[in-house]
Amino acid sequence: MVIAIDGPAGAGKSTSARMLAERLSFAYVDTGAMYRIVTWLALRDRIDLDDGLALVAACKPHEWTVEHGRVLVDGEDVTVALRQSRVDRDVSRVAAHAEVRELLRERQRRAAATGNVVIEGRDIGTVVCPDAAVKIYLIADEEERARRRTAERPVSDSATLATELRRRDQADAEQSRPAPDATTIDTTVLELNEVVEQMVRLVDAVSAGRE
Ligand code: DC
């Protein structure tokens, strides 16, 4: 079974998707991390971020794996580096290229085809896995999402993070929309475990319908 979870930055996707996967003993695939890997490689290797073909060519020779929450690129642990503000700043620019999206879409589909998977991103329910058994779209008030981002990145100042979040929302809007058959969960006033409970109930309902 494929469970697709989409939504904007700070809506609570990563943590709730990871918890749901653990709870169900499903694999967990973070597609945002893939866009971050391409961005990190491009910044490191000084690739032109406006050249989609160059970005694809630059990342093809590299091996990357995501296991147990750690991201390795050619054996180097880049988990923390992927969350740097310079990656936050440029990732939407990289993700806007059709060539980059095509490359990563194939990898994402292969990851989803491995069996029971919780896969999270922006366009999973609409483009990557339109046949997913369960589609969830998480939202939260902008103020609350900015507050969560500040909590995750305590060294940055909150006004800058709020501006950055707003800019990224606009840049990501093109690929970030709910599938018509997705269930929307507003996480603004929910605790994490309540979000996961709602997700489990949706999965249970779908599983019962299939029996
Ligand atoms: O979820 P995140 O913040 O780690 O995602 C990083 C960026 O990658 C985000 O700004 C938009 C982009 N992204 C995308 O375009 N499509 C996806 N399926 C996942 C992420």
Question: Does the Cβ of 40 fall within 6 Å of ligand 1?
Answer: no
Owner of token pair 């994402």? 108
Strands of 32-84 (E only): list them.
64-67, 70-73, 76-77
- Centre of ligand 1 to C-alpha 121, Å, is 6
**Residue (of 133, 153, 164, 43) closest to 94 by Cα position:** 43
The CATH number of the domain covering residues in 2-205:
3.40.50.300
How many whole angstroms separate alpha carbon 54 and alpha carbon 42? 9
Ramachandran angles phi, psi of 130, nearest 5°: -65, -15
pLDDT confidence of residue 163 = 84
Q: For Cα atoms 24, 109, 133, give the angle at the middle one, nearest 5 degrees.
A: 45
pLDDT confidence of residue 143 = 87
pLDDT confidence of residue 131 = 96
pLDDT confidence of residue 6 = 96
pLDDT confidence of residue 158 = 75
Integer CA distances (angstroms), 10 to 16, 113, 144, 150, 194, in order: 11, 27, 8, 10, 16
- Centre of ligand 1 to C-alpha 29, Å, is 12
Question: Does the Cβ of 92 fall within 6 Å of ligand 1?
Answer: yes
Q: Where are the domains of the chain?
A: 2-205
Question: Does the Cβ of 122 fall within 6 Å of ligand 1?
Answer: yes
DSSP class of residue 155 equals T
Which amino acid makes up residue 63? E
Block means of pLDDT (10 residues each) for the chain, length 211 residues? 94 93 95 96 96 95 86 95 91 96 95 93 96 96 86 74 82 85 95 96 91 74
